[in-house]
Amino acid sequence: MMKTKIELLWDELRNKRDTSLITNSEFLLLRVNTKGSHIINAGIADSGKLMLALEVDIRPPDIGLETRSLVYFRHQRANGKWLMVLRLDGDELEQVFGRLCQDLIDEAEQVITQTKLISLFQNRLSLWKKLFQMGNNGCLEKYQVKGLIAELLALQSLLGDTNDQMEEAVYAWVGPLKRDQDFVFVDRAIEVKAIAPSVEHVGISSIDQLDSKDPLELWIFTLQDASPSDLTSICIIDLVTDLEGQLAKAGHRLLSQFRRLLLESGYIEQECYEAYRFNLKECSKYHVVEGFPRLTHLSLPTGIARASYSIALSAMDPFRQGE
């Protein structure tokens, strides 16, 4: 996997650190964006720990980070300007840190004022916390990858050809925001599930998932495990890259929203995801209407507030779309 620009600068700083005398509590900086309106630096501390430093004119806010791997601090320079500094304290998360920092740098290029830059910095950190608190070196578990692939395949089929259609689909994708359904449009909602070929039931995690005031559809993607060497199968890295290529044509704002939703999902591109590949065997779509086998708030006995359950796939056959 190719290194990002900031990762290459960190390598350069490591070499400089080996030949330069850095005293305690000092650090070396290299500017990442030589032509940008904001000064953003790659950095390395005297301890060898990697850093990202954004320069601003005003005293930046204090930001609490509840993670042992990532440290945030403010540093005032001799010229009176301030640095907002992120330091990575866990070497095992270096690749994650590099991808996240590059994402922040790319987004900062679209921001005009320092106030908005600081706001972007704060918002990104709130998303990063999830990744650094996940364990497993910031990688999603296999079942989570499978579920996210199903949502991305659904998104891909909903994008359409025009910018308006793409925007509608991306902003309808609310699964990463933990809404009741994965896609919520003005006139309908879609719940997405991923199952293995041998499965005879599909799990429903809450009453609300199949209980909607709007017309509701259930899309079930049957995904079969594939060998990491099977390059014809689906890898989430390739799928995300394809979607980014499509959305980039509609403008940076839409691409930025998509990437933000990926972060909300806990996904950032890493080598660990190359091990997870799937073959799409089938996509079944169902109308969730009167008579569909489901639990609703109106159908529950008095006193039942929460429930998760499974539905037999065979019981849904009469509601399959196109039949």
DSSP 284-302: EEEEE-TT-S---TTTSPT
pLDDT > 90 in the chain, percent: 71
Same domain, 123 and 239: no
- The domain tally of the chain equals 2
Same domain, 38 and 165: no
Same domain, 81 and 176: no
Q: Would you tell me the crossing angle of helices 252-265 and 236-248 to the nearest 10 degrees?
A: 150
pLDDT of amino acid 168: 97
pLDDT digits (tens, 9 = 90+) for 120-164: 999 888 888 777 777 667 889 999 999 999 999 999 999 988 999
Same domain, 286 and 271: yes
Please identify, among 86, 117, 135, the residue that sits at the C-terminal boundary of a domain.
Answer: 135
User: Phi and psi at residue 20, in whole multiples of 5°?
Assistant: -115, 150
pLDDT digits (tens, 9 = 90+) for 54-96: 999 999 998 887 677 888 999 999 899 999 999 998 778 888 8
Same domain, 162 and 223: yes
Q: How confident is the model at residue 18 (pLDDT cuts 50, 70, 90)?
A: low
Going by C-alpha positions, the residue among 194, 195, 174, 197 that lies closest to residue 184 is: 174
Q: Are strands 216-226 and 201-204 parallel, antiparallel or unpaired?
A: unpaired
Please identify, among 104, 135, 166, the residue that sits at the C-terminal boundary of a domain.
Answer: 135
Same domain, 209 and 113: no
Same domain, 178 and 312: yes
Please identify, among 106, 135, 164, the residue that sits at the C-terminal boundary of a domain.
Answer: 135
Angle 68-95-154 from CA coordinates, rounded to 5° = 105
Same domain, 116 and 167: no
- Name the most confidently modeled range: 14-23, 85-94, 289-298, 314-323: 289-298
**Which residues lie across from 217 on neighbouring strands?**
190, 287
Same domain, 102 and 131: yes
Question: Which token pair is 120?
Answer: 């972007």
**Which residues lie across from 225 on neighbouring strands?**
278
Q: How confident is the model at residue 39 (pLDDT cuts 50, 70, 90)?
A: very high
Question: Which token pair is 183?
Answer: 């896609």
Which residues 6+ apart lie within 8 Å of 172 measured at CB?
A: 158, 183, 184, 185
User: Phi and psi at residue 154, in whole multiples of 5°?
Assistant: -65, -45
pLDDT of amino acid 323: 52
Same domain, 178 and 47: no
User: How much is the mean pLDDT over the chain?
Assistant: 91
Same domain, 164 and 274: yes
pLDDT of amino acid 2: 83
pLDDT of amino acid 246: 94
Range of the domain at 97: 5-135
pLDDT of amino acid 135: 65
pLDDT digits (tens, 9 = 90+) for 191-235: 999 999 999 999 999 999 999 999 999 999 999 999 988 989 999
Same domain, 12 and 27: yes
Going by C-alpha positions, the residue among 127, 97, 117 that lies closest to residue 257 is: 127
pLDDT of amino acid 25: 61
